[in-house]
Amino acid sequence: MCNSPDVLLFVLGLVKCICQWLDRYKDALVLLLREVLNRIQFRYNQAQLEELDDETLDDDVRTIYISYIIHNLSLAPFYLMLLALCIFCSCIKSSEGLMYINSFRT
């Protein structure tokens, strides 16, 4: 059976790995989120949005336009969660965060 320090060190190692990945791709995540949100706004994407059918209903009683909006909005929370992890990783990298993590390695 694992004792709690071993489990904690495993989790901290996993978080460190995730943080390294997020540091590398943080700018791309911000760009993806911006593009997803721009796709559903007439200000940035009027031509494509006007081409979508807004009258014919599908089996889910949605138009193609509404399905397009819902699909793009459903992507935003995923990107926001990853960006929140970026903030968490920045906090861990601070000197106080590192001292806290190292306090478990006794």
Q: How many domains does the chain have?
A: 1
The residue range of the domain holding 52 is 4-102
Over residues 18-61, the pLDDT tens digits come to 888 888 888 998 899 999 999 999 999 999 999 998 899 888 88
Helix, coil or strand: residue 61: coil
Write out the H or E segment, with its range, that includes residue 41: none
Length of the chain as a residue count: 106
Cα distances (angstroms) measured from residue 103 to each of 9, 10, 31, 62, 83? 11, 15, 37, 54, 27
0.95 surpassed by pTM: no
Residues 1, 79: Cα–Cα separation, whole Å: 36
